[in-house]
Chains A and B, each alone.
Chain A
């Protein structure tokens, strides 16, 4: 009885810790208090440089002050990627022309998905525009940023149907480079939630 009370109290505490200001998205990832400062320091996406579909280096500068959605895929993926990008395209269509919202797809297939192939893919998907960038990079860099920074698991696996296993997360990043949400891109309901959360995030930064 006592124990269950304690358990209940803890649950309430946890729930409160998770409480957030209304109209504000949570901030994901480990956090620290910087020495000598009182502000919490959140995990941020570190600087990067990859080649985009036009074989031009794309760095974090392109995302300065922007909200963006990042994901990991490969062009020959026949399982979850088509549906992920079908759903992501509905987001893209919803925010098309909005200079504050960008999309960033990383290939995890260093060998086959050279920039020229990404270009073709983007054209065929019907999204060959600056607002949605497709990037290629050395395997170790892409896998490292996926797992350590965007918190998405990716792995080469010869037993998997297409030779890779990976998760279909769409990761929402705010203008301060922090993770504000992760959504299962294979589910239309989750993508719908992401669409709303992008609006919430834009509103937060308008103030």
Chain B
């Protein structure tokens, strides 16, 4: 009888604890998924210009290591990736004036995976960015790709 109570108690506690833990790590789990898909997408679509380590390419493509710049533009990243970017920008205090092509073929989910990857690699760590935020952000893209 005592033993049965104890077992029941342990099971109950473990279940509650398990639920709590799994709740907590659902976002982490999502983020891990986004990260690994984002990395594959980055290698195919972005690495040629922005480099293996996000180092950029001379003045032809900016590095993606400027956390401040990425943070400031967080809500615009979806539009930049989907619609491309041209005109003068500053990254790490250096001026870039080139053209990034549009990646219109990407789904909102893929854009989100890319954002999570670049904002959590190359010395950045800005956490998760679920795809519904991308859907939201894309409603407010500037008509030209300029910022």
Residue numbers of A with Cβ under 8 A of B are: 76, 78-80, 82-83, 85-86, 89, 121, 123-126, 161, 186
Beyond A78-B101, A124-B98, is A83–B48 a contact (Cβ under 8 Å)?
A: yes
Q: How far is the CB of B82 from chain A (nearest CB, A)?
A: 15
Q: By CB atoms of chain A within 10 A, which of B51, B57, B60, B101 has the most?
A: B60
Q: How large is the interface on B (under 10, 10 to 19, 20 to 34, 35 or more residues)?
A: 10 to 19
CA distance A80 to B57 in the complex (A): 13
Whether A125 contacts B49 by the Cβ 8 Å rule is: no
Where the two chains meet, the residues of B that have a C-beta atom closer than 8 Å to any C-beta of A are 47-49, 51, 57-61, 98-99, 101
State the CA gap A82–B49 with chains docked (Å).
6
- A161–B47 Cα gap in the complex (Å)? 17
Q: Collect the chain A residues with CB atoms within 8 Å of residue B49's CB.
A: 78, 82
Set of chain B residues within 8 Å of A121, measured between Cβ atoms: 60
Chain A residues positioned under 8 Å from B57 (CB to CB): 82, 85-86, 125
Chain A residue nearest in CB terms to B59: A124
A126 and B61 CA atoms in complex are apart in Å by: 12
**In-complex Cβ contact of B60 among A79, A82, A161, A186 (8 A):** A82
Residue of B nearest to A126 (CB): B58
Q: Are B59 and A82 neighbours in the complex by a CB distance under 8 Å? A: no
Known: A121-B60, A124-B59. A83 touches B101 (CB 8 A): no
Do residues B60 and A125 form an inter-chain contact, with CB atoms below 8 A?
yes
**B49 to A: closest C-beta gap in Å:** 5
A82 to B45, CA, bound (A): 12
CB pair A83 B47 closer than 8 Å: yes
Q: Which of B47, B48, B58, B101 contacts A124 (CB 8 A)?
A: B58
When C-beta atoms are compared, the residue in chain A nearest to B48 turns out to be A83
CB distance from A160 to the nearest CB of B (A): 13
Flag if A123 contacts B59 (CB, 8 Å): yes
Provide a sorted-by-A list of 30 A–B residue pairs whose CB atoms are within 8 angstroms. Answer: A76-B99, A78-B49, A78-B101, A79-B48, A80-B48, A82-B48, A82-B49, A82-B57, A82-B60, A82-B61, A83-B47, A83-B48, A85-B57, A86-B48, A86-B51, A86-B57, A89-B58, A123-B59, A124-B58, A124-B59, A124-B60, A124-B98, A125-B57, A125-B58, A125-B59, A125-B60, A126-B58, A126-B59, A161-B101, A186-B48
